[in-house]
Chains A and B, each alone.
Chain A
Amino acid sequence: DSGVTQTPKHLITATGQRVTLRCSPRSGDLSVYWYQQSLDQGLQFLIQYYNGEERAKGNILERFSAQQFPDLHSELNLSSLELGDSALYFCASSGPYYGYTFGSGTRLTVV
Protein backbone atom coordinates (compact mmCIF):
# COMPACT_ATOMS: atom_id res chain seq x y z
CA ASP A 1 0.00 0.00 0.00
CA SER A 2 1.61 3.23 -1.19
CA GLY A 3 -0.54 5.41 1.04
CA VAL A 4 -2.26 7.06 -1.93
CA THR A 5 -5.78 5.72 -2.42
CA GLN A 6 -7.68 5.94 -5.66
CA THR A 7 -11.28 4.96 -6.24
CA PRO A 8 -12.81 3.36 -8.13
CA LYS A 9 -10.27 0.90 -9.50
CA HIS A 10 -12.30 0.26 -12.63
CA LEU A 11 -14.95 2.31 -14.37
CA ILE A 12 -16.90 1.51 -17.52
CA THR A 13 -19.16 4.17 -18.95
CA ALA A 14 -20.74 5.26 -22.20
CA THR A 15 -19.69 8.08 -24.50
CA GLY A 16 -21.13 11.43 -23.53
CA GLN A 17 -21.28 10.57 -19.86
CA ARG A 18 -19.54 12.20 -16.89
CA VAL A 19 -17.46 10.47 -14.23
CA THR A 20 -15.61 11.47 -11.08
CA LEU A 21 -12.36 9.89 -9.97
CA ARG A 22 -11.26 10.25 -6.39
CA CYS A 23 -7.83 10.41 -4.78
CA SER A 24 -6.80 10.48 -1.14
CA PRO A 25 -3.17 11.56 -0.78
CA ARG A 26 -0.64 10.09 1.61
CA SER A 27 -1.05 11.47 5.10
CA GLY A 28 0.69 14.82 5.42
CA ASP A 29 1.13 15.43 1.69
CA LEU A 30 -0.25 18.74 0.49
CA SER A 31 0.35 18.30 -3.24
CA VAL A 32 -1.79 16.15 -5.47
CA TYR A 33 -1.07 15.45 -9.14
CA TRP A 34 -3.22 13.81 -11.79
CA TYR A 35 -1.78 11.88 -14.73
CA GLN A 36 -3.31 10.11 -17.70
CA GLN A 37 -1.73 7.01 -19.21
CA SER A 38 -3.05 5.67 -22.48
CA LEU A 39 -2.22 2.14 -23.63
CA ASP A 40 1.54 1.56 -23.78
CA GLN A 41 2.22 5.25 -23.37
CA GLY A 42 3.97 7.35 -20.80
CA LEU A 43 2.22 9.32 -18.12
CA GLN A 44 0.87 12.67 -19.25
CA PHE A 45 0.61 15.34 -16.59
CA LEU A 46 -2.87 16.80 -16.29
CA ILE A 47 -3.03 19.07 -13.27
CA GLN A 48 -1.54 19.74 -9.82
CA TYR A 49 -3.11 21.07 -6.65
CA TYR A 50 -1.32 22.28 -3.56
CA ASN A 51 -3.23 22.73 -0.33
CA GLY A 52 -6.49 23.36 -2.15
CA GLU A 53 -5.16 25.66 -4.84
CA GLU A 54 -4.41 24.84 -8.45
CA ARG A 55 -0.65 25.09 -8.95
CA ALA A 56 0.05 23.82 -12.45
CA LYS A 57 -1.81 22.70 -15.52
CA GLY A 58 -0.60 20.32 -18.16
CA ASN A 59 -2.34 18.78 -21.13
CA ILE A 60 -5.77 18.78 -19.55
CA LEU A 61 -8.78 19.05 -21.81
CA GLU A 62 -11.46 21.65 -21.16
CA ARG A 63 -13.91 18.77 -20.63
CA PHE A 64 -11.83 17.74 -17.62
CA SER A 65 -11.64 19.54 -14.31
CA ALA A 66 -10.31 18.86 -10.86
CA GLN A 67 -10.42 20.19 -7.35
CA GLN A 68 -8.78 19.59 -4.00
CA PHE A 69 -10.91 19.76 -0.90
CA PRO A 70 -10.06 21.06 2.60
CA ASP A 71 -9.31 17.52 3.77
CA LEU A 72 -6.80 17.39 0.86
CA HIS A 73 -8.51 14.66 -1.11
CA SER A 74 -8.91 15.45 -4.78
CA GLU A 75 -11.41 14.65 -7.48
CA LEU A 76 -10.93 14.58 -11.22
CA ASN A 77 -14.10 15.16 -13.20
CA LEU A 78 -14.28 13.95 -16.79
CA SER A 79 -17.29 15.01 -18.84
CA SER A 80 -18.67 14.47 -22.36
CA LEU A 81 -16.56 11.35 -22.47
CA GLU A 82 -15.16 10.10 -25.74
CA LEU A 83 -13.71 6.73 -26.69
CA GLY A 84 -10.24 8.28 -26.68
CA ASP A 85 -10.56 9.14 -23.01
CA SER A 86 -10.20 5.46 -22.15
CA ALA A 87 -6.99 5.25 -20.15
CA LEU A 88 -5.46 4.71 -16.76
CA TYR A 89 -5.70 7.76 -14.54
CA PHE A 90 -3.15 8.04 -11.78
CA CYS A 91 -2.99 10.29 -8.81
CA ALA A 92 0.25 11.05 -7.01
CA SER A 93 1.02 13.04 -3.89
CA SER A 94 4.13 14.63 -2.50
CA GLY A 95 5.11 16.36 0.69
CA PRO A 96 8.00 18.00 2.46
CA TYR A 97 9.60 14.81 3.74
CA TYR A 98 8.89 12.23 1.11
CA GLY A 99 8.99 12.18 -2.63
CA TYR A 100 6.25 11.45 -5.08
CA THR A 101 4.03 8.45 -4.42
CA PHE A 102 1.53 7.09 -6.90
CA GLY A 103 -1.76 5.41 -6.34
CA SER A 104 -2.73 2.22 -8.11
CA GLY A 105 -4.84 4.09 -10.65
CA THR A 106 -8.35 4.07 -12.03
CA ARG A 107 -8.88 2.24 -15.30
CA LEU A 108 -11.53 4.09 -17.31
CA THR A 109 -13.15 2.38 -20.24
CA VAL A 110 -15.49 4.42 -22.43
CA VAL A 111 -17.75 2.33 -24.67
Chain B
Amino acid sequence: GESVGLHLPTLSVQEGDNSIINCAYSNSASDYFIWYKQESGKGPQFIIDIRSNMDKRQGQRVTVLLNKTVKHLSLQIAATQPGDSAVYFCAETHQTGANNLFFGTGTRLTVIP
Protein backbone atom coordinates (compact mmCIF):
# COMPACT_ATOMS: atom_id res chain seq x y z
CA GLY B 1 0.00 0.00 0.00
CA GLU B 2 0.90 3.63 -0.05
CA SER B 3 3.45 4.94 2.40
CA VAL B 4 3.35 8.42 3.75
CA GLY B 5 6.07 9.34 6.19
CA LEU B 6 7.33 12.33 8.08
CA HIS B 7 10.92 13.43 8.42
CA LEU B 8 10.74 14.74 12.00
CA PRO B 9 8.68 13.11 14.72
CA THR B 10 8.91 16.14 17.05
CA LEU B 11 9.35 19.85 16.54
CA SER B 12 9.67 22.59 19.14
CA VAL B 13 9.42 26.25 18.16
CA GLN B 14 9.27 29.56 19.95
CA GLU B 15 5.98 31.40 19.93
CA GLY B 16 5.94 33.82 17.03
CA ASP B 17 8.42 31.85 14.93
CA ASN B 18 7.49 30.06 11.74
CA SER B 19 7.12 26.26 11.73
CA ILE B 20 7.81 23.88 8.89
CA ILE B 21 6.60 20.30 8.99
CA ASN B 22 7.71 17.94 6.25
CA CYS B 23 6.22 14.82 4.74
CA ALA B 24 7.32 12.32 2.12
CA TYR B 25 4.94 10.16 0.14
CA SER B 26 5.64 7.15 -2.01
CA ASN B 27 2.67 6.76 -4.36
CA SER B 28 3.21 8.87 -7.45
CA ALA B 29 -0.42 8.23 -8.43
CA SER B 30 -1.70 10.19 -5.42
CA ASP B 31 -3.36 13.37 -6.58
CA TYR B 32 -4.81 14.90 -3.45
CA PHE B 33 -3.05 15.72 -0.21
CA ILE B 34 -4.36 16.97 3.10
CA TRP B 35 -2.80 18.24 6.30
CA TYR B 36 -4.60 17.48 9.55
CA LYS B 37 -4.12 18.76 13.07
CA GLN B 38 -4.93 16.46 15.94
CA GLU B 39 -5.17 17.65 19.51
CA SER B 40 -5.03 15.21 22.37
CA GLY B 41 -8.16 13.07 22.59
CA LYS B 42 -9.76 14.62 19.52
CA GLY B 43 -10.28 13.62 15.93
CA PRO B 44 -8.12 14.94 13.09
CA GLN B 45 -9.09 18.44 12.06
CA PHE B 46 -8.68 19.60 8.47
CA ILE B 47 -6.10 22.35 8.01
CA ILE B 48 -5.42 22.69 4.31
CA ASP B 49 -5.38 20.59 1.17
CA ILE B 50 -3.72 20.66 -2.21
CA ARG B 51 -4.28 18.89 -5.48
CA SER B 52 -1.49 17.53 -7.61
CA ASN B 53 -2.00 20.18 -10.32
CA MET B 54 -0.77 22.82 -7.87
CA ASP B 55 2.54 23.30 -6.10
CA LYS B 56 1.49 25.83 -3.49
CA ARG B 57 -1.64 26.76 -1.64
CA GLN B 58 -2.11 29.32 1.08
CA GLY B 59 -4.61 29.57 3.87
CA GLN B 60 -4.81 31.67 6.97
CA ARG B 61 -1.30 31.50 8.50
CA VAL B 62 -0.68 28.18 6.75
CA THR B 63 0.90 27.31 3.44
CA VAL B 64 1.24 23.88 1.85
CA LEU B 65 3.96 23.20 -0.69
CA LEU B 66 3.94 20.18 -2.97
CA ASN B 67 6.98 18.94 -4.86
CA LYS B 68 5.85 16.07 -7.06
CA THR B 69 9.33 15.52 -8.48
CA VAL B 70 10.66 14.33 -5.13
CA LYS B 71 7.27 13.38 -3.69
CA HIS B 72 7.52 15.82 -0.83
CA LEU B 73 4.92 17.85 1.00
CA SER B 74 5.41 20.54 3.61
CA LEU B 75 3.23 22.58 5.92
CA GLN B 76 4.36 26.03 6.93
CA ILE B 77 2.72 27.75 9.87
CA ALA B 78 3.43 31.44 10.20
CA ALA B 79 3.75 33.18 13.58
CA THR B 80 3.21 29.95 15.50
CA GLN B 81 0.96 30.26 18.53
CA PRO B 82 0.58 28.08 21.64
CA GLY B 83 -2.76 26.90 20.26
CA ASP B 84 -0.89 25.37 17.34
CA SER B 85 0.65 22.76 19.63
CA ALA B 86 -0.67 19.42 18.40
CA VAL B 87 0.24 16.45 16.24
CA TYR B 88 0.19 17.17 12.53
CA PHE B 89 -0.45 14.48 9.93
CA CYS B 90 -0.18 14.55 6.20
CA ALA B 91 -2.46 12.27 4.23
CA GLU B 92 -2.63 11.30 0.59
CA THR B 93 -5.20 9.75 -1.67
CA HIS B 94 -6.16 9.20 -5.25
CA GLN B 95 -9.50 10.79 -5.91
CA THR B 96 -10.94 8.19 -8.26
CA GLY B 97 -11.91 4.69 -7.24
CA ALA B 98 -11.20 3.76 -3.65
CA ASN B 99 -10.29 7.16 -2.28
CA ASN B 100 -9.37 6.29 1.27
CA LEU B 101 -6.70 8.40 2.93
CA PHE B 102 -3.27 7.08 3.84
CA PHE B 103 -1.66 8.83 6.78
CA GLY B 104 1.87 9.41 7.91
CA THR B 105 2.95 8.77 11.49
CA GLY B 106 2.64 12.40 12.54
CA THR B 107 4.84 15.20 13.88
CA ARG B 108 4.29 16.57 17.35
CA LEU B 109 4.61 20.35 17.34
CA THR B 110 5.28 22.04 20.66
CA VAL B 111 5.15 25.82 20.85
CA ILE B 112 7.24 27.34 23.61
CA PRO B 113 5.68 30.54 25.02
Which residues of A are interface residues toward B (Cβ below 8 A)?
2, 4, 31, 33, 35, 40-45, 48, 55-56, 58, 90, 92, 94, 99-105, 107
Q: Is the CB of B43 within 8 A of A102?
A: yes
Q: Which residues of A contact B34 (CB under 8 A)?
A: 99-100
* B99 contacts the other chain (CB 8 A): yes
A44 to B99, CA, bound (A): 14
How far, in Å, is A10 (CB) from chain B's closest CB? 10
Main secondary structure of the interface of A (DSSP, over half): strand
How far, in Å, is B74 (CB) from chain A's closest CB? 17
Which residues of B are interface residues toward A (Cβ below 8 A)?
1, 34, 36, 41-46, 49, 89, 91, 98-106
Q: Is the CB of B99 within 8 A of A94?
A: yes
Q: Which residues of B contact A105 (CB under 8 A)?
A: 42-43
Q: Provide 5 A-B residue pairs closer than 8 Å at the C-beta atoms, listed in order of the A residue.
A: A2-B43, A48-B98, A90-B44, A102-B45, A103-B43
Q: Is the CB of B49 within 8 A of A99?
A: yes
Identify 8 new A-B residue pairs, CB closer than 8 A, beyond the known A42-B105, A99-B49. Answer: A31-B99, A40-B106, A45-B102, A45-B103, A92-B101, A99-B34, A102-B43, A104-B42
Q: Is the CB of A56 within 8 A of B103?
A: no
Q: Which residues of B contact A92 (CB under 8 A)?
A: 101
Q: Is the CB of A43 within 8 A of B44?
A: yes
Q: Which residues of B contact A4 (CB under 8 A)?
A: 43
Q: Is the CB of A101 within 8 A of B98?
A: no
How far, in Å, is B8 (CB) from chain A's closest CB? 14
A52 to B63, CA, bound (A): 37
Write the chain A residue with the least CB distance to B5.
Answer: A42
Most chain B beta-carbon contacts within 10 A, residue among A43, A94, A101: A43
Write the chain A residue with the least CB distance to B89.
Answer: A42
Q: Which residues of A contact B102 (CB under 8 A)?
A: 45
A4 to B46, CA, bound (A): 13
How far, in Å, is B79 (CB) from chain A's closest CB? 26
